[in-house]
Structure 1
């Protein structure tokens, strides 16, 4: 039994299916697989957030810092600036690709350089944001159940531990393998102890405790003076300053975990894109693509850069804004 195939009805092969070169096709495959990874991160973040929605940190209270403007709370301003810079770098990449189509080496060089500068500003800003997040602002007390107790004044404004707590002298040393406790290795000791916080709270009547639990109005619950003292005395376990993968002065440790994983993974992609752009930039400068009469390599890294930009739009929307 034989099967006849009508001539001209089947694809006869060729190295550019869908008019795309091998390099472009592979870049699209990479982008598709990477998009699934980021989707998994954001989906996991969404599930975790809505599971602990009553105790999830409020982004507007966490990301309030702006370089060189210490002491001023400007919610989301610097994150918005970072987003603007990355979007503009995507615009300059579009212009570089367009200039490449016209074989305009000078314009490709300029726009690639601007794209690299935008990427460096973004990564540097993200590193600064990480450092600020890790260091923390106010400090808090972790309860025996793992919840976070923060401090506010009678008007609801956050109060830092340093504003009402005085550190007492202690002979307590940090557990390290070198001092004999080979099975314990802890981080830097906090500036204050829970007992210091209790003494400070007792001597400052205008300081109250705020819990992680949200009210029906979406605000965190502020305890009365009596409830504040009782909460610290009966449930206070440790002082938390800043955030890491284990504790988070802003609220749930999961928030910090997702912050580090999602923004860190994206930041690694941006850094990788900067490295690729620098390599392509120098190839443009020395005339490699001008000799080939093709700037397709600029277009390939452009696809990657636009993908990184698009991912950040989703991260900015779902992690910072929603």
Structure 2
């Protein structure tokens, strides 16, 4: 029996409402959330780009050390996507211990990313750049703060899924669905880096 068919059966074999698109309802819900969130991030980044071009005295606070830090953050996030893929593949193969190890690695990498991000913020604070210090501060901390919030939510979600998957309450399908969210968060970062960081290098 396929996963989509199992999703339609409740306790005692009673028929339950499933997805009309031959995929589990939870996965469809996640895709709809990702699409709506992508529109939100797209609108925010478009508005940022407009402000960046339209403001002649836009601040450019990033130096080579900042870019090295951003490159490290990007490497960490890409690596976390690979460990998330490993968790999904291992769960589908029925190797629960391996899947849990990969989930643990993904969570640790997410926390490392968050730590590097917060360290970067404090560096900007020391330069006098804050949320209230003009258009750049408002735009930068709003965009990166929203993304960081998504990362932290993802770490919490992974922890919950790992715990319940370990106890048998959740299936490999739940691991895969959570992975979709994590990959989306990583993909958003690939747009944030060139638009928010690389265009603001001090010259």
Mind listing any 5+ residue stretches in structure 2 that lack a counterpart? 1-16
For 1:132 and 1:319, how far apart are their aligned partners in 2? 16
Query: Which residue is 2:23 aligned to?
Result: 20
Aligned-residue offset at 1:286: 2.5
For 2:130 and 2:75, how far apart are their aligned partners in 1? 27
Query: Which residue is 1:43 aligned to?
Result: 46
Normalised by the size of structure 2, how large is the TM-score? Answer: 0.85
Secondary structure, in 3 states, of the residue corresponding to 1:311? helix
Report which of the two has the higher share of helix: 2
For 2:28 and 2:148, how far apart are their aligned partners in 1? 24
Query: Which residue is 1:317 aligned to?
Result: 194
Secondary structure, in 3 states, of the residue corresponding to 2:197? helix
Tell me if 1:270 matches 2:156: no
For 2:19 and 2:66, how far apart are their aligned partners in 1? 49
Normalised by the size of structure 1, how large is the TM-score? Answer: 0.55
1:63–1:76: 8 Å Cα contact kept in structure 2?
yes
Query: Which residue is 1:220 aligned to?
Result: none
Aligned-residue offset at 1:16: 3.4
Aligned-residue offset at 1:256: 0.9
Aligned-residue offset at 1:19: 2.7
Mind listing any 5+ residue stretches in structure 1 that lack a counterpart? 1-13, 65-72, 137-241, 248-252
Q: How many matched pairs?
A: 183
Report which of the two has the higher share of strand: 1
Query: Which residue is 1:56 aligned to?
Result: 58
CA deviation vs aligned residue, 1:65-120 (integer Å, no higher than 9, x gap): xxxxxxxx624000110011011101100111111111110110110000000000
Match of 1:125 among 113, 116, 133: 116
Query: Counterparts of 1:1-322 in structure 2 under 5 Å?
Result: 15-52=18-55, 54-58=56-60, 62-64=61-63, 74-136=65-127, 242-247=128-133, 253-289=134-170, 294-322=171-199
Aligned-residue Cα RMSD (Å) equals 1.5
The structure with the largest alpha-carbon Rg is 1
Q: Which has the higher contact order (CA 8 A, sep 6+)?
A: 2
Query: Which residue is 1:196 aligned to?
Result: none
For 1:287 and 1:121, how far apart are their aligned partners in 2? 28
CA deviation vs aligned residue, 1:229-282 (integer Å, no higher than 9, x gap): xxxxxxxxxxxxx122332xxxxx211111110000000000000000011111
